[in-house]
Homo-oligomer: A and B are copies of this chain.
Amino acid sequence: MSQIDKTIGFIGLGAMGLPMARNLIEAGFKLRIYNRTKSKADELIKLGAEVVDSPAAVAADGIVVTMLANDAAVAEIVTGKDGIGNALGQNGIHLSMSTISPQLARELAELHAQSGAEYVASPVSGRPDAAAAKQLTMWVSGSKAAKERMMPVIAAMGRGSSDVGEDPAAGHIAKLAANILVLNTIEILSEVLIFTEQSGLDPHVFADAITSTMFAAPIFKTYGDILASGKLPDPGFKLSLALKDMNLALNAGETSQVAMPVVSVLRDRLLVSMAKGRGDLDATVLQQSVREDAGLPAIRQP
């Protein structure tokens, strides 16, 4: 690890950010943190993190990791009062790990460039438990030098990363594409599991059969088990955030002029689930709408 980046700033101590920050400390980094709700910082302070009063102060050593909820939160941290925008300075790097719009990524990259800093996209795929277990996958893009410099930081938080190019937006586009695949998996497994069950098959038998042969990927196994059981896991991937992501994906698709009809179906399914008051639950809860559309109770009776 290069000497210069031993201390790094970290903003965003939510369900994902907190375990990610913990892993950085564990890997030997010294953290400078800022969080609107200070209580969340307590655990990290005990582990040696230094709390500062503003985003700008977090940027003092030239590296800031952001892991926030949406475009507005990231934009505010960068361009708002005492934002990191002017504080990163020459050779500074903004390691942006939130799921945000490709367009904002490009805007922030331009803005950072004005003060000689760089933007490295590194949004993550994985739930909070994967964050805790250092099992996240990162989608990384930016200049070669900046990506190389950030590798030890990124490596400390996940099990692997994919370099998807130099465009600051590329990492975010790849992340949105990955999330499309995840939500599509939930939707199509829900459709076929309820179809086969209503046609007389045992959902576990079919889920096992399909995920032990043609679709023997971990993600199919995981979601197949969850959906066949009908039990709802802790909200690792909140439905409301899944809807946010599909909107970002559809907007990015419009920018690139690519229609994605299945994504439109996913978006509508998630919106229906929101309307039914399930926005704070895990995204697999969309299965309940598939069940209701089949005239079944939302939750399978044991």
A contacts, CB < 8 Å to B: 102, 125, 137, 139, 160, 162-165, 167, 169-170, 173-174, 177-178, 180-182, 184, 187-188, 191-192, 194-196, 198-202, 205-206, 208-210, 213-220, 243, 247, 249, 252-265, 267-269, 271-272, 274-277, 289-290, 292-295
Instruction: Knowing A217-B215, A264-B267, A274-B257, say if A184 contacts B173 (CB, 8 Å).
Output: no
The answer to whether B137 and A294 have CB atoms under 8 Å apart is: no
Known: A262-B191, A265-B262, A265-B265. Contact between A162 and B209, CB under 8 A?
yes
Residues B201 and A170 in contact, CB atoms below 8 Å apart? yes
The answer on a CB contact under 8 Å between A271 and B254 is yes
Interface class of chain A by DSSP: helix
**Chain B contacts for A263, CB-based, 8 A:** 191
Alpha-carbon gap, A253 to B255, bound state (A): 21
A165 touching B210, Cβ below 8 Å: no
When chains A and B are docked, how far (Å) is the Cα of A253 from the Cα of B188? 13
On whether the beta carbons of B214 and A164 are closer than 8 Å, the reply is: no
CB-based closest 6 A-B pairs:
A217-B217, A162-B209, A275-B295, A257-B275, A198-B256, A177-B192
